[in-house]
Structure 1
Amino acid sequence: MKNDPRPGGRARLLSLADRIDAVVRQIGEWATWLSLAMVLVTFAVVLLRYAFDIGSIALQESVTYMHAVLFMLGIAYTLGRNGHVRVDILYERFSRRARARVDLVGTLLLLIPVCVLIIWLGWAYVAESWRVQEASREAGGIPAVYLLKTLILIMPILLLAQGLSNALRNWLFLSGMEEALPPSDGGVSRA
């Protein structure tokens, strides 16, 4: 903690990053259970249809809803675990400090503006869906399309939170706080 006028300032920022990571991780771990639920519900749909000649639009739509929730809530979780696929030529050869600089600049110049744009463009779309209480167009479908569309706003908010955590960690690391970054990339492979 060199040259820090408030000795606890960096520690508080790291603590904030830890809290954000914990919330995003909890949401992501909850969402991962949806993959099992999707398999079970898909099995039930097939069993009902072919063994008992019973169809359920709502049950079929629920698989789509779970799939959307899994991915939309899992994006920030994956970012926090550095699990996104990268096609890189130079990044893997960079020093840890150079990667921290690239990640910080990428977060500030790419991730944050894109998330703000998604929120800005999606707000009216989601608000209109809530206003009319949008439901499935299919008879017997799930009457809560507006809840599904809300993910259009939740996803960038979670990404912004995780991006803030990542930016804080990279900035703290670059300013001399070695413990701000995890010891490794967590064994994530890159294509």
Structure 2
Amino acid sequence: MLKTIIGSAERIATVVGKGVAWLTLLMMVLTCLIVVLRYGFGIGAIALQESVLYLHALVFMLGAAYTFKDDEHVRVDVLYRGFSARKKAWVNIIGGLFFLLPFCFYTAYLSTDYVAASWAVMETSQEPGGLPFVYLLKTLIPIMMALLIIQGIADILKNLGVVLNKHPMMEAL
């Protein structure tokens, strides 16, 4: 049961993370196109510039849970790196319960009215010729929090397995 929950959560993070990772290639192509249009032909393209911004937001916000799952997030591990697996698991459990999850729930809560207000007016770019999807961009905030909550719970459960000496089961994921 525990293995199924953790595996499902990690599959969600993996599918979303690997999916949005491909957007970096599209960002690179669009950035090159913007440079060629601007400096080669003197053509400015606000919508293209904003699309790179949107793609960057998609990659960063939807890839955060995947990065967390693979333990590739920023960590100041001056002490942590020398800890045993069990001590690391305790740090991860405490960090998840008292920092990650409260932050994610609070941010999701705070973003609700912000996103709803944007959807209510179908918010668009303030720039002439910009993209009319600002409300979709803002929707990434609660989606990111939901993905991090799911992955955070999976991480806490996995680390509980380490603390309770059930980690061989967890390694099979």
Q: Tell me the TM-score range normalised by the shorter chain.
A: over 0.9
In the TM superposition, residue 52 of structure 1 has moved relative to its aligned partner by 2.1
Tell me whether 1:120 sits opposite 2:133 in the alignment. no
Q: Could you tell me the percent identity over the aligned residues? A: 45
| CA positional deviation for 1:50 | 1.9
Residue of structure 1 in register with 2:92 after alignment: 103
Which of 132, 156, 171 is 1:167 aligned to?
156
Alignment of 1:14-163 (within 5 A): 14-163=3-152
Alpha-carbon distance in 1 for matches of 2:130, 2:25: 22
Cα RMSD, aligned residues only: 1.2
Q: What residue identity is the alignment partner of 1:178? A: H
Deviation at 1:85, TM superposition (A): 2.1
Q: How many residues are treated as equivalent by the alignment?
A: 172
Q: CA deviation at 1:14?
A: 1.2
Classify 1:147/1:43 alpha carbon distance in 2 versus 1 (closer, same or farther; 3 Å): same
TM-score, normalization: structure 1? 0.86
User: What displacement does 1:103 show?
Assistant: 0.4
In 2, Cα distance between the equivalents of 1:182 and 1:46? 46
Q: Distance in 1 between matches of 2:169 and 2:144?
A: 25
* Structure 2 match to 1:9: none
Structure 1 runs not aligned, ≥5 long: 1-11, 184-191
Higher helix share: 2
- Secondary structure of 2:72's aligned partner: coil
1: distance between equivalents of 2:130 and 2:103? 32
Contact 1:24-1:76 within 8 A present in 2 as well:
yes
- Judge conservation of contact 2:3–2:170 (CA < 8 Å) in 1: no
**SS of equivalent to 1:150:** helix
Shifted more, 140-149 versus 51-60: the winner is 51-60
Sort the Cα spacing of 1:175 and 1:103 in 2 relative to 1 into closer, same or farther, 3 A: same
Larger Rg: 1
Amino acid at match of 1:115: C
Alpha-carbon deviation of 1:101? 0.9
For the residues of structure 1 that align with 2:122 and 2:79, how far apart are their CA atoms?
48
Structure 2: runs of 5+ lacking an equivalent: none
